[in-house]
A and B are shown apart, each in its own frame.
Chain A
Amino acid sequence: MMLLKALAVWVLALALGFFAGSGYLVQMATATAILALWGQSWNLFSGLSGNISLGHSAFVATAVYITLVLFVRWGVPPLWGGFCGVGAAVALAALIGAATLRLHGPYFSLATLAAAAVVLALILHYPDLTGGASGVALAFTHNAALSLEFTDGRVYYAIAVTLLFATTLLVRWVRQSRLGYYIAAIKSSEQTAAAAGVHVARVKVAAFCLSAGLTAVGSVVYVFYLGFADPNYLAGLTLSIEIALVAFLGGADFLLGPLVGAIFFELIDTGANALVGASGGWDMMVLGFAVVAAVMIEPRGLCAMAVRGWEALRCAFGYGGKTLAPV
Chain B
Amino acid sequence: MVFLLQSLINGLLIGGVYALVAMGLNLMFGVMKLVNFAHGEFLMAGMYAAVLLAGLGVPAGFWGLYWVALPGAFLMGGLGCAVYLLLLRRAAAFGEAAQILLTVGLSLGMQGAAQVLAGSDFRLVPNPINGAALRLGGVTVQIGPLVAFAVALAVTAAMAWLLGRSWFGRAARAVAEDIALAQALGVDARRVFLMTAALAAGLAGLAGALIIPYHYTFPNVGQSFVIVAFLAIVIAGLGNVLGAVLGGLLLGMVQSVTASYLDLDLSTAAIYVLFLAVLLLRPQGLFTRRARTV
Contact = CB atoms under 8 A, between A and B. Distances in A.
A and B: bona fide binding partners: yes
Interface of A: 50, 52, 99-100, 102-107, 109-111, 113-115, 117-118, 120-122, 124-125, 237, 241, 244-245, 248-249, 252, 279-292, 294-296, 299-300, 327
B98 interface: yes
Given A106-B238, A248-B97, A296-B91, A114 B272 contact: yes
A105 B279 CA distance: 13
B105 A295 contact: yes
Contact of B231 (A110, A245, A286): A110
A295 B234 CA distance: 27
Contacts of B93: 327
Interface string B111-123: 1111110011000
User: What are the 3 tightest A-B residue pairs by CB atom distance, in nearest-first order?
Assistant: A281-B115, A288-B109, A285-B112
The winner among A107, A115, A118, A244 for most chain B CB atoms within 10 A is A118
B95 A115 contact: no
A245 to B, nearest CB: 7
Contact of B111 (A113, A248, A281): A281
A277 B273 CA distance: 40
Given A120-B268, A291-B105, 15 more contacts: A52-B100, A107-B279, A110-B234, A114-B276, A117-B269, A124-B265, A248-B101, A279-B120, A280-B119, A288-B110, A288-B112, A288-B113, A291-B104, A291-B109, A292-B105
Contacts of B106: 288, 292
Given A280-B116, A327-B94, A245 B101 contact: yes
A295 B94 contact: yes
A220 to B, nearest CB: 25
Given A52-B97, A103-B294, A111-B279, A284 B265 contact: no
B149 interface: no
A289 B97 contact: no
The winner among B87, B105, B283 for most chain A CB atoms within 10 A is B105
B contact patch SS:
helix
Contact of B109 (A102, A279, A292): A292
Interface in B206-235: 219, 223, 227, 230-231, 234
B266 interface: yes
A125 B109 contact: no
Nearest to A276: B116
Contacts of B97: 50, 52, 248, 252
A285 B265 contact: no
A contact patch SS:
helix
B266 A289 contact: no
Contact of A103 (B120, B272, B283): B283
Given A99-B280, A117-B272, A280-B116, A291 B108 contact: yes
A115 B276 contact: yes
Contacts of B48: none
A50 B99 CA distance: 13
17 contacts: A100-B279, A100-B280, A106-B96, A107-B238, A109-B35, A111-B276, A114-B272, A117-B227, A241-B104, A241-B108, A282-B116, A288-B111, A289-B112, A290-B105, A291-B101, A291-B108, A292-B102
Contacts of A125: 263, 265-266, 269
Nearest to A119: B269
B90 interface: yes
Interface residues of B, number: 49
B114 to A, nearest CB: 7
Nearest to A114: B272
Contact of A284 (B87, B111, B263): B111
B95 A299 contact: yes
A308 B95 CA distance: 19
Contacts of A111: 275-276, 279
Contacts of A285: 108-109, 111-113, 115-116
A281 B279 contact: no
A175 B96 CA distance: 22
Contacts of A102: 283, 294
A115 B156 CA distance: 31
Interface in B134-181: none
A281 B266 contact: no
Contacts of B238: 106-107
A292 B104 CA distance: 8
Contacts of A280: 115-116, 119-120
A296 B102 contact: yes
B107 interface: yes
Nearest to B230: A110
Contacts of B280: 99-100
Contact of A288 (B35, B108, B119, B276): B108
A249 B94 CA distance: 14
A50 B102 CA distance: 16
A109 B283 CA distance: 14
Nearest to A54: B100
A141 B98 CA distance: 46
A282 B101 contact: no
